[in-house]
Amino acid sequence: MAKGSCGEVRSQVYRIYDWDYIDKPQLEALTSKCEQLSKQIAGFINYLNKTELKGSKFQAKS
């Protein structure tokens, strides 16, 4: 969910650039931040998939 939302934000950044609300340096800065955040989210997802710790949703019910 979060990674998809980050991609959607990046798409909107390109739209506001096309509409001349931001300039090229702002576009590059914002897309760079989106890419960094997407990588962080992917890393966190990988961590959660590999960890032995599970949330209450995945614990056995007694």
- 34 vs 14: CA distance, rounded Å: 12
pLDDT at 3: 76
Between vectors from CA 44 to CA 60 and to CA 54, what angle results, nearest 5°? 10
Whether 14 shows a pLDDT value over 90: the answer reads yes
pLDDT 10s digits, 15-58: 999 999 999 999 999 999 999 999 999 999 899 889 887 777 76
| pTM, rounded to two decimals | 0.74
Residue with tokens 């650039």: 17
